[in-house]
Chains A and B, each alone.
Chain A
């Protein structure tokens, strides 16, 4: 039994926003109320802290199976716990690709054995994510996938997207798409604009993303399926999602902390500024923040993409895309969104909890008999992020050495404290 005392409970699902204690019994919540006490319990003093439902990350790469030099389920979930995440959705672009029930089962079993937080696998939409034949989606659902995606690349064609969506509507799964038009992307390494011209780096026009978002919204209209746009980075993409929501389509989207924090003008010859989609323009960043505030954006997702230092410490145009993100996500949300008054603390919690849960078609709340997954954080705790101290196997982050106000203080999964600052 674990009693969380003196904290301020913030649960968007029930509009709870008051000082309450929470008693956990085993892996479930037993009681929520004022001034709770119980005999023979461990007490966590959450004075000055926010107690929220467990954070969910809709988008990460744990690199297992196949790329364990960069990350494993164990190291990745340890980093996730430090970031306050109680569940992370692992993208299927592993080696082999998670396109069959046997790979899914392997991930689920490995996570059960060594995972620090819950791992919810996402299955490939097509075999090998090659964009040809449909993957064994129903079998993977039976083995534990929570959504499908060919992440790393877009679902190849509108026709395949139609088939995937039709099938996933029947299976009640969201289709998550990494939106990019490869003919416009064409080997680019950063966002096309004044900065790419100055640095002489091949640019990727913003339309590479939005053309594909537009296509997907059209196919969502055709099929009525649930569509989720991954790591959305531009104003035009956001407008497509806003329009789709107005029409009542089941279209959702996520934004990464780096896209609401950094812009293309920040890019220098340092591969820690190289990610896909690339850092967008100042105007795009402003639009994303507006979308995070007004509800158009459903979730903050990290796109935690670890790459071993030897693969990132190369010429900018030869480096792989991606940065790590678990440990800085909440602090960036507080620092860039809440503290400057762009969104409320409650809205931030929503973007990490009920928002991503809704994308997956599940509930996330603090109530008796619910799983005891909780994220306890301080909106004010001052700290400095040191990539060298991260449990992740990789160090590829532009936020190394950055000082923050606000941090995860404890992460509780199934009633166990898996991280404590």
Chain B
């Protein structure tokens, strides 16, 4: 029996079946985006609060668009808004939002664990849109959807993650998700950002010390953004990073022509990724964005729509519910 989700706080606690269920639910929404009229009435009358305590453009727009296309209204709280600047506590802020009776809340926050903190204190579904350096579950789900579409399966892939893994919530969620499907995961990046404890996150995670070893035979390569703004560590010179860690066309050849290249965006073109790779045939970057919408629609439908474990609505019959 599939355990119905109350919240989406992270990938770590999901089962393989729950993940597959979400990916399956996203399928019809992928088709839906090709329709000329992109609006359902499924969540008409529902309100989704978008509480972005940390700045975000891409993820916020993706969730807002997903909610709009399902017919839901949104309430927006943004990091630069005045109450946060005035030092209102997280608890006061979410109670204020709750008092306006939203049916679900999407949270991005710079503190790891903030969505769980909120979920324990509110009676509505909480979706984690990225918390600190903990998890970014919708990113891992949209990556999984992208990989499954291209590779025809998620099981037993050789996945390589490149870059600043220590500070990456995307990497953690991907390691948990792909690990549950039996992936062999290879990590490579500056040693200070790839500590040995990362290997304990999932079975079959290993670190390597040369980029050649990281790329050889990889089915999927996930390139992480260098989050220069997040780091307190002594910064590595950009030239050093490019020399040692950039995914170049030449290095990509080690992985073979069928290897997929994913990047959560926004990209630092020319820093962690060679523009030729970013725009090349192996890159899935724009598909990831489109799939992000489908995943977020499926989740909002499932969590906010309160549709238990019924199948997703057939999007072609717009406005049926």
Contacts and interface: CB of A to CB of B under 8 A. Distances in A.
Contact of B113 (A192, A194, A201, A313): A201
B91 interface: yes
B133 A200 contact: yes
B117 A269 contact: yes
Contacts of B133: 200-202
B238 interface: no
> What secondary structure prevails in chain A residues at the interface with B?
loop
Contacts of A318: 111
A230 B90 CA distance: 33
A313 B121 CA distance: 11
A310 to B, nearest CB: 8
B14 to A, nearest CB: 15
Contacts of B12: 198
Interface stretch (B57-65, B194-202, B300-308): B194-202
A198 B171 CA distance: 11
B180 to A, nearest CB: 15
B197 A200 contact: no
B90 A269 contact: no
A314 B200 contact: no
A187 B12 CA distance: 26
B223 to A, nearest CB: 20
B193 to A, nearest CB: 12
A314 B89 CA distance: 7
B91 A314 contact: yes
Interface in B130-184: 131-135, 166, 169, 172
A310 B90 CA distance: 11
A315 B200 contact: no
Given A200-B133, A200-B134, A200-B169, A317 B200 contact: no
Given A187-B232, A314-B90, A314-B91, A200 B112 contact: yes
B114 interface: yes
A200 B135 contact: yes
Contacts of B232: 186-187
A283 to B, nearest CB: 14
B109 interface: yes
B114 A315 contact: yes
A193 B197 contact: yes
A44 interface: no
B116 interface: yes
Contact of A199 (B90, B91, B112, B166): B112
A404 interface: no
Interface residues of A, number: 20
A199 B166 CA distance: 11
A43 interface: no
A59 to B, nearest CB: 28
A403 to B, nearest CB: 23
A197 interface: yes
Given A200-B132, A200-B172, A194 B111 contact: no
B128 to A, nearest CB: 11
Given A187-B232, A198-B12, A315 B198 contact: no
A317 B169 CA distance: 16
Most buried by B among A194, A196, A200, A318: A200
A279 to B, nearest CB: 16
Contacts of A313: 91
B195 A269 contact: no
Interface string A188-217: 000011101111111000000000000000
Nearest to B134: A200
A316 interface: yes
Nearest to A200: B134
Given A187-B232, A200-B135, A200-B172, A315 B113 contact: yes
Nearest to A311: B89
B109 A199 contact: no
A186 to B, nearest CB: 7
19 contacts: A197-B166, A200-B112, A200-B113, A200-B132, A200-B135, A200-B169, A201-B112, A201-B113, A201-B132, A202-B133, A269-B116, A310-B89, A313-B91, A314-B91, A315-B90, A315-B114, A315-B117, A316-B113, A317-B111
Given A198-B172, A317-B112, 7 more contacts: A197-B166, A199-B113, A200-B131, A200-B132, A269-B112, A313-B91, A315-B113
Interface of A: 186-187, 192-194, 196-202, 269, 310, 313-318
Q: Ordered nearest first, which 10 A-B pairs have the shortest CB separation?
A: A269-B113, A200-B134, A315-B111, A200-B133, A200-B112, A197-B197, A194-B200, A194-B197, A317-B111, A269-B116
